[in-house]
Amino acid sequence: MFRLTVRDHIMIAHSFKGEVFGPAQKLHGATFVVDLEVQRQALDQDGLITDIGRMSELLKTILAPLNYRNLDELPEFAGRNSSTEMLAYEIAQRAKAAILEGALGGDSAEALTGVKVTLLESHIAWASYETALRGA
């Protein structure tokens, strides 16, 4: 299995509901390093998994509506705690949809098999979500 990863970051504000979150129940900021990884069984005719430039642009496009935003104010997060885990899931779902719609061009929508998003909350804590592009 071949894997390719690109990296970007976002700066957000949010708060959590529930005593388990302690002081994070109050509005606070976070900066996440975001890794987007795609998988493919075999390289294409050019010896690539997919175009790195297009993949970097895709990640930037996905992150733009979240960057410098208070996630508590966005309708898609209403009633949900925007935990690192949940945010990794949300970004992965957006990447999956964009890839299947052809955002990476070429044969990527057909040849890529999976997507993984990792959010690094700090140098000691991160969360990931991985999903197949097709099927279960």
The torsion defined by the Cα of 42, 45, 105 and 50, in degrees rounded to 10, comes to: 50
* pLDDT of 27: 86
Q: What is the CATH number of domain 2-132?
A: 3.30.479.10
For residue 98 the two structure tokens come to 């964009």
Tens digits of pLDDT across the chain (136 residues): 999 999 999 999 999 999 988 888 898 999 999 999 999 999 999 899 999 999 999 999 999 999 999 999 999 998 899 999 999 999 999 999 999 999 998 788 889 999 999 999 999 999 999 999 987 5
